[in-house]
A and B are shown apart, each in its own frame.
Chain A
């Protein structure tokens, strides 16, 4: 059946901001979906609140709405655009939930919008626990037996019926406490009792425990004609018990024989048919390692993180094909985009092994619980391909950028054998490294390790193959033969150099001399059965024949930004993609190297060539040797790419854009200070110290408060603001290891307005597309601040100064391309905080709102084109008549034990944008888009630090005047009394029966303003209050600045329409300006 005839205009829902569990994979899926729809001649309307995405570019959809993903906004957009169909299965769980809400609200019916792809009923059948259970029972597919109990008797009855082990999960607890796996009646009773106590509704879910079974996933597709295919099988290295997003995953399955494989494949087809899914779907199974028994764990009736992985792992574009199915095509009518000859109706066959490795944020959240379980904690992931598992896992580990280049963590060197052995049963981010250490020391056999960890022995043996060769490298002289063996196992030159003591450059030389070089193989969906044109490659030392055809065209490599982590998100992928596009536009062959399977940049038809490889000097140089490009562009791949520039330049590779020396001048503190002095541009006073005494004298001289941070980050130790000597002493002893090699930086903390600028220079002219003003004063990390374009409070003199400084800094650093500068404005004076000679987090946001293709211009400037030639002149571009607000989004609900209080260390995982002709509504949209539901009335709790009490008074007064009831802790309440506000006093935590936590739990508090006493470390009560707000979804503001803005929004929005939507094309095109 061809395309449905009634479809002309389709609305696509994106997934919104990046949070843990919902990351860049939906930008990849959504962009592919929009392109795929446009290819069919359909008009596409896209709604997504996340500006850092490719999919929200004005050229991806005909109409792009960067608006909050709420029923109200969507309904307004639908009313305005009148689409024929709605596509929601590519926007993650957020998109799917919204579609369900829209259907239930009657909006779809009212405006006659067809829900495309999987039907509402099918979605519910997959997602509703009871309906899913019923469906699986009907088709005879087993799911783990479970029950909900409210007393001990029922729990014991259930256990007697199905046996042990069981998992006990209390329903609705703060922080998921109180549950666990039980193996006998005694444990069951104990855990259930505890669970019932912790559960807010007195219920406990008891389920058969299949922890330790193999976790297997299938990606399945089905069309309306009931043709079903599986795209990819995946096997989790970590057995059932660890969220698949936190598991190391391999594809295809490795330890399943054909019988087991077909058993689960057949079950997958049966399930997708029973659920009547049209499009892609992900099914997870638990397989008993000792029998044919299995359980269905979960079904995702949509494109998911796993399908992005499966797409990249096989080359099969799942999102694209899902879209074609949704608009009516059958699988056999869709062309295989890879071979261009065969159809999309086949099952990919791969001839390599894929490893996915999660990237956790524990380097930023040092105090977080690192145990891995059913709640996903990773912010991103890397993928690698090779012809062996050993090669692939080592590539994956190199790609993580966590300071390791093999299965070895330096800190474990200091651990004794007992410590290593006793920790093998811990399931956390270090398990793989611990296993390797145990094997390296030969203190546990693969069988013992497999027994303790329940990880299949096949994987453990493979790890042993790696550690065995490491041991030999340590003991034996490095011969060409041994070197070849080490490379066959997949060890990097750097690892070999570390293990043998040979110099890195000597290892490389020996390797080249003996022609121990990787070959590059193609990813073609069909294991070479058919000819393919995909320019998608991976390296391997296991091969004779290289498949890359090196062209004689002018070619340039763009380095990507690796895994998504806090501080380096999807924004940098956006920039990499635009740089690639700019190169292609200029007729240059664009080659990208990246290792993140979630992203648009690693879609095989974005660049002329895609190398799916780690971003390390060796891996990049191998490609450079192969391709002999004119040079490499590093400024768009975040710090990942910038960090490689020096070593690449040293190896003789040309770096396009700002020179390596100039990059160093911006990054090296002394050289940077020197330059500022020369330019006569002020910066907050600061010193670099190498011992405690110097720190104390220095800080006294500078004057408190001071900002302190290690120059060399060890395990993510945080930056802090300290207010006195005592706190400084505490910080120096607790947080950092200060040595002459690792100085600590002490800077004056300026409590002013923070301002951020992105500019483009060609070395002669400097264009400033826009300036952004932060809502939160300096001290809150720029990535966690609300940023406003154009500035709302800065006087023109300040803007002039900022423009002037920016120009001078860009020229002094001879920037060719992008640079980002952060300023603080205090008492009317402008200070430079930081200069980054590269693209920044705000580039996608600014590009969108200013309608200037910043990366395109920057890429061309880097290649030598002049700004004048491109039609740009030096200076600040006139601000637009509308306002755009970028707000941070956090994933605190997923990370227990993390303090949500904002500070100098970045904590947000994503961002949203609000845009409007009115500042207040733009801010309202940003806050709403960030998922914060601001109550219009009700009760606000104030509990602030002494330093903030004075300022808080006015704020509380303003809220009170808006009709809010104010409650406060004792000290705060007393302060309020002085200005005539009678705040109800609430007890501190556990002070009385109606303490704060209890009131929050009972829904008596609707908003919280809480600031932390300076320097105090995790003040216990405050921490508990803040965590309670996260668990219960109560807005909590930890900066008075944010709270002020919320108050202003509330005031303004009293007599305005809350919902008003325009497409980005309208804003930049200067359309409808009537709000």
Chain B
């Protein structure tokens, strides 16, 4: 049936609504420029409650398969795309994308001019939007539009209880604070022989240290880092106790904990083609990114924090390290999924830090 996406400023994009007239959504509308990896995007908890539009117009070509899920379920608010492929082809496929959307109850608006939508978001900045059927009343739309952007997103995606993944004898103990962690990060750490204990976001510093970690990992996750002040204050206590590595939201939380500031980007960085320069080597890596906030560079002045990575596109901070302590973090996703694997070596650095600490 016909449906539409209405933005805060009233701009309307029409398309076909998948999932019937009840398939409505409201949330911040963001775009991702990756050309593959729609399933990884849909299951990345960092998109919690957001309406995601994909700039690549043909979506669903290879269906979906459990192995590509990045978390226990999809947390996105809604999906806005060009073509929704109902006749996919791939030997690994288990469900078609329409079947998957139905199972996960993801509202989807397709046959949309997503390029026009992207241009709108690029020039006006990310904004709130609602997906409704063409026939929804203006009252309904107004009510939905009025709902504030949720601040409790980390709470929605974090693990409800702590759990530990098996590892071989002699593995390094990594305690991971789960703000919405992606499966591939866990896989990357396990591949490097880590025993990973995942703890809920609200776990205290004392509880974490009681687990006798060799290192602490701060995961990616959704939302504004400033919405979780209680987490920031716990992380503060962890600084100096153990090697720490942060990714994405974890990076922002770490920066805030060390006294830096974060701010909201106009339309964020979301895609698989984001160039990041490693200031230590001068080399540039293509990275997978998904963030709407960034660490403010000038707020680092006077702090014992060094910028290690910057975005080549807009010069924003993409990675930092502590001047003396084994604490590093990056804004982008070295674990890929979706996106390039160019930066997977960053995990090695964390391992080295932990080994040194253990020794």
The answer to whether the Cβ of A112 comes within 8 Å of any Cβ in the partner chain is no
Q: Quick one: closest A residue to B119, CB to CB?
A: A528
**A388 with B61: CB separation less than 8 A:** no
The answer to whether the Cβ of B100 comes within 8 Å of any Cβ in the partner chain is no
The answer to whether the Cβ of B192 comes within 8 Å of any Cβ in the partner chain is no
Q: How many A-B residue pairs have CB under 8 A?
A: 166
Partner of B57, one of A230, A257, A351: A351
The answer to whether the Cβ of A290 comes within 8 Å of any Cβ in the partner chain is yes
* Count of A interface residues, CB-CB < 8 Å: 57
Contacts of A348 in B (CB 8 A): 273
Contact flag A346-B340 (CB < 8 Å), given A258-B40, A388-B57: no
Binds B, one of A262-270, A427-435, A890-898, A1057-1065: A262-270
The answer to whether the Cβ of A227 comes within 8 Å of any Cβ in the partner chain is yes
Q: Quick one: closest B residue to A253, CB to CB?
A: B36
**A256 with B36: CB separation less than 8 A:** yes
Contact flag A258-B339 (CB < 8 Å), given A346-B313, A458-B87, A528-B122: yes
**B62 with A255: CB separation less than 8 A:** yes
The answer to whether the Cβ of A627 comes within 8 Å of any Cβ in the partner chain is no
The answer to whether the Cβ of A352 comes within 8 Å of any Cβ in the partner chain is yes
**A529 with B275: CB separation less than 8 A:** no
Contacts of B36 in A (CB 8 A): 252-253, 256-258, 261-262
**B56 with A527: CB separation less than 8 A:** yes
Contacts of A262 in B (CB 8 A): 36, 336, 338-341
A287 to chain B, nearest CB (A): 11
**A461 with B87: CB separation less than 8 A:** yes
CA distance in complex: A217, B251 (Å): 36
CA distance in complex: A345, B277 (Å): 10
**B34 with A227: CB separation less than 8 A:** no
**B312 with A351: CB separation less than 8 A:** no
CA distance in complex: A304, B85 (Å): 33
**B68 with A347: CB separation less than 8 A:** no
B5 to chain A, nearest CB (A): 12
Contacts of A342 in B (CB 8 A): 312-313
Partner of A225, one of B123, B271, B272, B283: B283
Contacts of A343 in B (CB 8 A): 275, 312-313
The answer to whether the Cβ of B297 comes within 8 Å of any Cβ in the partner chain is no
Contacts of B65 in A (CB 8 A): 257
Contacts of A256 in B (CB 8 A): 36, 62
CB neighbors of A among B185-214 (8 A) = none
**A351 with B116: CB separation less than 8 A:** no
**B342 with A269: CB separation less than 8 A:** yes
* Count of B interface residues, CB-CB < 8 Å: 56
Contacts of B123 in A (CB 8 A): 531
Contacts of A531 in B (CB 8 A): 122-123
Q: Mark A260-293, 1 if CB is under 8 A from B, else 0.
A: 0110011001000000000000000000011100
Contacts of B125 in A (CB 8 A): none
Contacts of A352 in B (CB 8 A): 57
B350 to chain A, nearest CB (A): 21
Q: Quick one: closest B residue to A330, CB to CB?
A: B282
CB neighbors of B among A500-533 (8 A) = 519, 521, 526-531
**B58 with A388: CB separation less than 8 A:** yes
Q: Quick one: closest A residue to B82, CB to CB?
A: A387
Contact flag A254-B273 (CB < 8 Å), given A332-B312, A350-B56, A458-B89: no
The answer to whether the Cβ of B118 comes within 8 Å of any Cβ in the partner chain is yes
The answer to whether the Cβ of B111 comes within 8 Å of any Cβ in the partner chain is yes
Contacts of A345 in B (CB 8 A): 275, 284, 312
Partner of B115, one of A225, A291, A332, A521: A521
Contact flag A349-B35 (CB < 8 Å), given A543-B113, A544-B113: yes
CB neighbors of B among A302-358 (8 A) = 330-332, 342-343, 345-353
CA distance in complex: A139, B250 (Å): 35
Contacts of B90 in A (CB 8 A): 255, 257
**A351 with B114: CB separation less than 8 A:** yes
CA distance in complex: A225, B284 (Å): 9
Contacts of A527 in B (CB 8 A): 33, 55-56, 115, 118, 271
CA distance in complex: A261, B273 (Å): 13
Q: Quick one: closest A residue to B40, CB to CB?
A: A258
**A545 with B58: CB separation less than 8 A:** no
**B13 with A456: CB separation less than 8 A:** no
CA distance in complex: A461, B341 (Å): 32
The answer to whether the Cβ of A229 comes within 8 Å of any Cβ in the partner chain is yes
The answer to whether the Cβ of B83 comes within 8 Å of any Cβ in the partner chain is yes
Q: Quick one: closest A residue to B91, CB to CB?
A: A290
Contact flag A545-B275 (CB < 8 Å), given A332-B312, A389-B58, A458-B87: no
Offer 14 A-B interface pairs, CB within 8 angstroms, sorted by A. Answer: A252-B35, A252-B56, A254-B58, A256-B36, A262-B338, A265-B340, A289-B91, A332-B282, A342-B313, A347-B272, A350-B56, A353-B57, A542-B83, A544-B13
List the 7 closest pairs (A to B, CB-CB), nearest first.
Answer: A258-B37, A545-B116, A347-B273, A527-B55, A458-B89, A258-B338, A258-B36
Residues on B lying within 8 angstroms of A by beta carbon are: 13-14, 31, 33-37, 39-40, 55-58, 61-62, 65, 68, 82-83, 85, 87-92, 111, 113-116, 118-119, 122-123, 271-275, 277, 282-286, 312-313, 336-342
Residues on A lying within 8 angstroms of B by beta carbon are: 225-227, 229-230, 252-259, 261-262, 265-266, 269, 289-291, 330-332, 342-343, 345-353, 387-389, 446, 450, 456-458, 461, 519, 521, 526-531, 542-545, 547
Known pairs A257-B90, A331-B284, A351-B118 / 5 extra A-B pairs, C-beta < 8 Å: A257-B39, A262-B336, A289-B91, A458-B61, A529-B118
